Structure 1
Amino acid sequence: MPTSSAHLHDDRPTKPAMWRGLRRRCPNCGEGMMFQGYLKVADNCPVCEEDLHHHRADDGPAYLTILIVAHILGFVMHFAFVHLRPDPMVLAVVLTIVCVSLSLYLLPRLKGMIVAIQWARRMHGFGAN
């Protein structure tokens, strides 16, 4: 009897893993921290011992961070310039602070999400039990 690809991934559902990754938690148990530092993924989960060293997040989190931050700031810049008309230096300083803060907040969360997706889809060596 043929098996569907959905059946192969039932034991690792993607959506809960993504939410755990966004919280910077282990995609398997959701309890242990995924990172040892700001962006360094731990080799193993400290709670369930799940191997996490297989990940290949590479530049994906940075690209997603730029995409999200640029769209948010583009809207804010347009709205502020059209409706509020602040001084250009004030607008530049405020947008710079918002851009840096939002980027630093999103980057580890998006990296966690990408690692969790790779874990759920059994990519890059995550397929072993």
Structure 2
Amino acid sequence: MTDQSIVEAVAADDRPLRPALLRGWRRKCPNCGSGPLLKGYLKVADSCSVCRQELHHHRADDGPAYLTILIVGHLMAPLLLFVFETWRPEPLTLFTIFSVGCAALSLYLLPRLKGAIVAYQWARQLNGFGSPA
């Protein structure tokens, strides 16, 4: 193998991480950025409808849920403490506001984090996303 062919092979397999993560966050195909990544709320499409990139290799599993819990917990817990210490609202009012806020933030983050995790796997050529050796 010549040096030129090695450079061409590396350039062909180069998948920049940042654009892939942004496309995944927007729930778009990490390869082309046009086709939808998800075909439901959380179901990943088998392949992109635009560029035909296979997406069924992903292994997102419980990662998006763990990250959602981590982010929501770290945002809402200090906010809950701040609101309670500052204004001392009624417990039922506090519970209602923060339970709705936690649910809404979780529902917003979950599909976006799943898209970002699938895009990360695609960019790093993990779990079958890489070219066959």
Indicate whether the TM-score tops 0.5.
yes
> Could you say which residue in structure 1 is the equivalent of 2:85?
82
Q: Confirm or deny that 1:46 pairs with 2:49.
A: yes
Instruction: Tell me the alpha carbon deviations over residues 55-101 of structure 1, each in whole angstroms, 9 at most, x when there is no partner.
Output: 00010000000000001111110110111111110000000000111
- Structure with higher Rg: it is 2
Across the aligned residues of Structure 1 and Structure 2, the Cα RMSD in angstroms comes to 1.7
| C-alpha contact 1:21 1:114 (8 A) present in aligned 2 | yes
User: Which contiguous aligned blocks of 4+ residues in structure 1 show a shift greater than 6 angstroms?
Assistant: none
Task: With the length of structure 2 as denominator, give the TM-score of the two structures.
Answer: 0.89
Structure 1 unaligned regions, length at least 5: none
In structure 2, which of residues 19, 22, 41 is the aligned counterpart of residue 19 of structure 1? 22
Distance change >3 Å, CA 46–CA 79, structure 1 → 2: same
Matched, 1:121 2:124: yes
Cα distance change, pair 60–121 in 1 and its aligned pair in 2 (3 A): same
Q: Which 5+ residue runs of structure 2 have no aligned equivalent?
A: none
Alignment of structure 1 residues 52-67 onto 2, 5 Å: 52-67=55-70
The amino acid that maps onto 2:121 is Q
- Distance in 2, matches of 1:105 and 1:96, equals 14
> Is the 8 Å Cα contact of residues 56 and 115 (structure 1) preserved in structure 2?
yes
Please give the alpha-carbon distance, in whole angstroms, between the structure 2 residues aligned to 1:96 and 1:9.
47
Do 1:9 and 1:120's aligned partners in 2 also have CA atoms closer than 8 Å? no
Q: Is the Cα contact below 8 Å between 1:9 and 1:121 reproduced in 2?
A: no
Q: How many residue pairs align between the two structures?
A: 125
Q: Aligned to 2:98, which of 77, 95, 98?
A: 95
Determine the structure 1 residue equivalent to 2:74.
71
Deviation at 1:19, TM superposition (A): 0.5
Structure 1 residue 9: deviation in Å?
A: 8.6
- CA–CA distance in structure 2, aligned partners of residues 51 and 10 of structure 1: 15
